[in-house]
Amino acid sequence: MGHLRFNKELPHKASGTINQLESAFSHVFENMVFFREELDRHSGKAAAALQKKMNDHIGFFSKASSCLLFFADSVQCFAKAVEMTDESDQPVNISPEGRSERSYAFSAERVKSEISINARSLSQAAAKFESNLSTLDEVLNHFETMLRQMMFETKFPWSDVDHIWPEAKRQINAIISEVRKRLQELAKEADELIAELTRVDNLISQQLQRVK
């Protein structure tokens, strides 16, 4: 076996952070899918522009969150397996959550099928959106610290992984920076988005009342 190096505290620290991030990502992701569905009900220029942006963000967040979490969970399980092997000679087999499960958790189609849109849910989602964004931003800080620790203090004992590891570290950092950039964009756009959605929602309510 090649060189192995990892932080023994990693499995304990990582597990909590991964769960927190999964939950924070899920909330923001659900909000984004919800807002996109709301935007679907309107065909104005502003809504169309926002919808295009939202589609792009959803596509990116779906992939980024599932692959970052899959990576972090795999490292966590690897570290746990090393730790347990160091404690006894009993075989260990702790599976990370699978790649297909992870990608399904962040599937826009799945989320879409589970949400129902009404005026109340819009105002609730709008009210929570900004706070969800700031929670995600905060959790992302912990996650980033944990990832840095993972990347700095982990050396894998397989030559092919070790070979791509330096480039992978750079790409992981770039993806996290992209997540941050898009979070900032979303935070900036949030007011504009919520105002547009509320306007459309009011418009639809008025039309519905007229029909009645």
Residue 29 region, left (φ>0) first, then alpha (ψ -120 to 50), else beta? alpha
Range in contact with another protein (rule: CB under 8 A) among 32-40, 63-71, 136-144, 183-191: 63-71
Q: Which of 75, 125, 147, 194 binds another protein (CB under 8 A)?
A: 75
For the chain, give the number of residues: 212
127 contacts another protein (rule: CB under 8 A): no
Residue 155 phi, psi dihedral angles, 5° rounding: -130, 125
Distance between CA 144 and CA 128 in Å, rounded? 24
8 contacts another protein (rule: CB under 8 A): yes
151 contacts another protein (rule: CB under 8 A): no
Q: The tokens 């499995």 sit on which residue?
A: 11
Residue 68 or 197: which CB sits closer to another protein? 68
Q: Which of 15, 26, 55, 74 binds another protein (CB under 8 A)?
A: 74
Measured from the CB of residue 119, what is the shortest distance to another protein in angstroms? 30
**What would you measure as the largest C-alpha separation in the chain, in angstroms?**
74
Do residues 11 and 76 touch, judged by C-beta distance below 8 A?
A: yes
Residue 111 or 139: which CB sits closer to another protein? 111
